[in-house]
Amino acid sequence: MVEDYLAQGAAAAQAGNREEARRLFAAAIRLAPNDERTWGRFYLVADTDQERMDCLQQILRINPENATARQILGKQPSPEQPIQPSKKNEKPAKEKIIGRKKKPEKKENPGRDFENDGLVRKISRSLLIFQVCAVLIGIIFLLFHKRSITLLIAVVALVLVLGALSWFYIRYRSYPLVQEKRRLDQQARSLQAQKTAQSANIQLTDQNQAELEQAENNEIEKALLNLQKEYIETRMINVRIAEADIPGIGPELKQGLADNGYTTAADINPKVIYVKGFGGAQTREILDWQDRVYFQFHATRPDSLPAGKLEEIKKKYEIDLVSNYAQQQKIQAEDNELENKLKEIRPRMDLLAPLTFFSFLRHGLASRAFMAGLIGLGILGSQVLLGAGAVFGAMRGSVPAATLTPTKTLAVTAATATTTQTITLTPTLTPTATMLPAPAGARVSVSTATNCRTGPNTKYAILGVLQIGESAQVVGRSVLTDVMVIRLPSDPSLTCWLWAQHATVSGDLSQLPIIAFPTPP
C-alpha cells in the first residue's frame, strides 16, 4: 500500500498535480511514519519552509546518517576539521621507571579552597573574642548600673555579627565554584521550565490529533448514515402499493389510497386512517406492511462508503493529520534534547551540591565540625546573653523605685496611763448621686395609652400607665431614640421608662441627661 501511494504521488507530481501528490505522500506517511522515503517525497511537494524543515528533521530522526538531509540543515561536519585517526592499533609508549612508583591521580575536589579559607577563620575567631569581651564588659557596666552603656555595647555587637555574616555571604558568592553552581542551577531551572512548556505542547498536539481523527470518523459515520437512509428511501419509493399483496387491502382501498396521494411504501403514514373505507384494522395492516418493506431493505443496506467517497473524506483530513504528526515528532525531539542537556549537567550539579552557605560557615569557623559548632555556639550564645542582659537592665531601670509615704497620726496620752494610744484619722468620701433638674419645658403626651416600665423593654415590670390626655415631665433620655424616662403623673415620686412610638414631645430633649439602662430582671 505504501509503495502504491509513493508511486501514485510521484506520477501526480510529474503531471503537475501538486495537491494530489501532497495528499498521496501524506497518506504514505500515515501508513509508514518511520520510513524516511515517505518524508523525503513529501519534502519535494512541501509548501512552506517550516514543512520542509519538519520533513528533514524527521528524516534525520529516522536515519541520522542521511548525508543529504544533514547537508541541507547545515549539520554536516566542516571539511576543514581534521578527522582524528583511530588509536585502536597504536601501542602505548613505554614509561621509564626511575626508582619510584607513579603516584595515583587524585580525584577532583571542587571544595578544596572553599573548605580552607584562612581569612574567614581569622575573622570568625576574632569575632568570638570580641563577643566574649563584650559580654564581660557589659556585665561589669550592669553591676555599676550603667544600663545605657550595656545596651549600646549589645547593639554594636549585634551590628558587628550581622555585618560579619553579610561579608561571609558575599565572600561565599564570590567563589568560582559557587558561581558555577548558581549558573548550573539557573540553567537547570530554565531547562525544566522549557520541558514543562514542551510537555504542554505535546499534550496539545495529542489533543489536536485525537480531535482530527474524531472529526474524520464522525464525518465518515455521518456520510454512511446518509447513504443508508438514501438507499432505504429510494427502494421504498420503488415499491408501489398497487402492485403489493397487502392482507385486507383490496383494489378499491388501493385506489382510495392512490386518490389521496399514497402510491408507494414511502408515502404511508398513520394519517391513512382518514382515507375513506379505512378503519383501525386496515390501518394496522398497511403500517405492518410498510414495516416489513422497511426492514427488508434495512437488512441489505450498505455497511461502508464507496471507495471514492471514503477517499474524498480522508483526503480532507490527511494533510492536517500529517502536519500535526510532524509537529508532535518535532516537539518530542526537542523535549528529548532538553532531557539530554539536563542529564549532562546533573553530574556536575551533584558534585557541587555540598557547596552550601551553611557548609561554608562550618568550614570557615574550624576545620572540624565539632570545633566549628563550639565556635558558632560561642558567638551566638554570647550575643544572646549580652542582648538579654541589656534588655533586662533596661526593663529594670524603667521600673520606679519604692518610696515611703509618711502618715500623720494623732497621739492622745493620759496622765495616769502607762501606755500610749495612737489614733489614725482617715477621711472617707461618700459619693452622693445628684440628678440634675430637667428643663421645665420638656414634657410628653401620648395618642394611645402606654405602659411605663422599670426598664426600656417588655422584660421590665409595669409601674403605671400614661393615659391619653395626660402630660408627663421628661427627666432623661436614652442612647436609643424610641424610649425616654418620665415622672409618672399618678405618682410624681416615681420615674419610669416610656416607649416613644405613640409619644409627642414638647420642648428640647438635647439638654436632658442620658440615663443608663437598669440591670435586666
At residue 225, the pLDDT reads 94
Q: Are residues 202 and 345 part of one domain?
A: yes
Instruction: Give DSSP secondary structure letters for 167-184.
Output: HHHHHHHHSHHHHHHHHH
515: in domain: no
At residue 427, the pLDDT reads 43
Q: Are 443 and 474 in contact (CB under 8 A)?
A: yes
At residue 191, the pLDDT reads 92
At residue 41, the pLDDT reads 85
Q: What is the 3-state secondary structure (H, E, C) of 13-58?
A: HHCCCHHHHHHHHHHHHHHCCCCHHHHHHHHHCCCCHHHHHHHHHH
518: in domain: no
At residue 385, the pLDDT reads 67
424: in domain: no
Q: Are residues 208 and 158 part of one domain?
A: no
At residue 90, the pLDDT reads 42
Q: Are residues 170 and 47 part of one domain?
A: no
Instruction: Give DSSP secondary structure letters for 108-132.
Output: P-TTTTTT--HHHHHHHHHHHHHHH
431: in domain: no
| Alpha carbon distance 237, 232 (integer Å) | 9
Q: Are residues 333 and 251 part of one domain?
A: yes
Strand partners, 465: 451
342: in domain: yes
306: in domain: yes
Q: Are residues 251 and 153 part of one domain?
A: no
Q: Are residues 360 and 344 part of one domain?
A: no
Q: Are residues 323 and 221 part of one domain?
A: yes
CATH number of the domain encompassing residue 479: 2.30.30.40
Q: Are residues 463 and 339 part of one domain?
A: no
405: in domain: no
At residue 95, the pLDDT reads 40
At residue 413, the pLDDT reads 37
Buried/exposed 12-33: b ≥16 CB within 10 Å, e otherwise: bbeeeeeebbbbbbbbbbbebb
Domain containing residue 359? 118-175+355-382
> Is beta strand 503-506 parallel, antiparallel or unpaired with respect to 443-446?
antiparallel
Q: Are residues 140 and 47 part of one domain?
A: no
Q: Against a cut of 0.75, is the pTM above it?
A: no
At residue 415, the pLDDT reads 33
At residue 123, the pLDDT reads 82
Q: Are residues 248 and 312 part of one domain?
A: yes
151: in domain: yes
Give mean pLDDT in consecutive 10-residue pieces for the chain, a chain of 521 residues. 82 83 84 85 84 85 84 55 38 41 46 66 79 80 76 82 86 86 91 91 90 91 93 92 88 89 91 87 90 92 89 85 85 90 89 82 66 68 69 57 43 36 40 44 88 90 90 86 87 89 85 84 81
Structural domain count of the chain: 4
